[in-house]
Amino acid sequence: MQAQNTKRDSLQQDSTKASRAKHQKIYSGPRKASIFSAVLPGLGQVYNRKYWKVPIVYAALGSMVYIFKTNNDQYNFYRNNLLRLVKDTSLTSIGGLNQSQLQTEKLAYKKNRDFAVLGIVGIYILNIIDANVDAHLKTFDVSDDLSLTWDPCLIRPVYGYKNCSVALRLTFNFKK
């Protein structure tokens, strides 16, 4: 009896190990994908085999870096001209702009530069979240058994109201 229970336990452990191995083969680790994307943006998408997302990540990051650099250069230009105008009392304007106009331009470019930094951080975080969610949804069922239908319908008036309403009805069908 003891030998039979031991054999049954070892078979159960073997089947559990096989099940876990199969699960690991299909289901890539979300934590690993997140770490990869945090280390190098786009690497989590490569790990999840979603290669088409890598150019999107780098295009978005590159665009935001370009916007940051352009606005930072303009900010420094107006800041330096404003400092020059303040230090040299013989000047009343530089490039046709007086002190308040230079200050306004400087602040506008500073604000745009700061928003670009927020955009870079946002895209970086979205890259990590996308890799994590992709890894979690690796085994999600998207077969034909799932469907969504929509139909126009007429809602009849409730007591006290005279007019009917037109609406759109969404129906989810889960066939299993």
**What are the tens digits of pLDDT across the range 8-36?**
555 566 666 766 666 565 556 899 999 99
Assigned token pair, 67: 């916007």
Per-residue confidence (pLDDT) for residue 153, from 0 to 100 = 85
Cα 127 from Cα 64, distance rounded (Å): 14
CB distance 56 to 115 below 8 Å: no
Domain extents for the chain? 28-139
Q: Coil, strand or helix: which one is 169?
A: strand
pLDDT grade for 73, boundaries at 50, 70 and 90: very high
Distances (CA, A) of 22 to 19, 27, 127: 5, 8, 27
Is residue 2 predicted with pLDDT exceeding 60?
A: no
Higher pLDDT among residues 119 and 5, named by residue: 119
Nearest CA to 67 out of 104, 121, 120 is that of 120
Check pLDDT > 60 for residue 7: no
Instruction: Give the global pTM.
Output: 0.66
* Statement: residue 3 has pLDDT above 60: no
pLDDT digits (tens, 9 = 90+) for 134-168: 998 887 766 666 777 888 888 877 776 777 788 88
97-126: pLDDT as tens digits: 898 999 999 999 999 999 999 999 999 999
Tokens 């250069």 sit on residue: 73
**pLDDT, mean of residues 36-58:** 95
Confidence of residue 133 (pLDDT cuts 50, 70, 90): very high
The 3-state DSSP class for residue 164 equals coil
Task: Please give the full DSSP string across 23-54, using - where no structure is assigned.
Answer: HHHHS--HHHHHHHHHHSTTHHHHHTT-TTHH
